[in-house]
Amino acid sequence: MQSYTIGQAARLLGVSPDTARRWADAGRVSTHRDDTGRRLIDGRALAAFSIEVGQGATGEDEAPYTSARNAFPGIVTAVKVGDVAAQVEIQAGPHRLVSLLTREAVEELGLEVGMQATARVKSTSVHIDRT
């Protein structure tokens, strides 16, 4: 499973690295250390925490999360695969995006909960790029 540094997690959550570090210090999200001593957050733990942060975001005391050219970098929080179609949810800061795509596309991208991905929005379609 992929792990994320505090800085990477902060970018995916749409907050500053200092905020992500404070959340980790307060025990809101668990961390572990790699061989070099860097603090890392497990991808599944970050996915669950990003949902919590997104649901609790009021937008009043936080800087708004913006995207350039309709790209929403975030973390995959759910993947539901059927016989032909699939549903992928991404939490990008306070934004939850859901894309309906083919099962084949999900398999080709290797999408799974906890991995980093970017949702690209054009009109009413949400496209997913693996990053």
130 vs 96, more confident: 96
pLDDT tens, residue by residue, 31-54: 999 999 999 999 999 999 998 888
Q: Residue 101: pLDDT band by 50, 70, 90 thresholds?
A: very high
Higher local confidence (pLDDT), 129 or 27: 27
What is the per-residue pLDDT for 130? 83
**What is the average pLDDT across 13-26?**
91
pLDDT at 124: 67
Burial 72-104 (b: 16+ CB within 10 A, else e): bbbbbbeeeeeeeebebbbbbbbbbbebebeee
Whose structure tokens read 């995006």? 97
CA neighbor of 89 nearest in space, from 62, 67, 117: 117
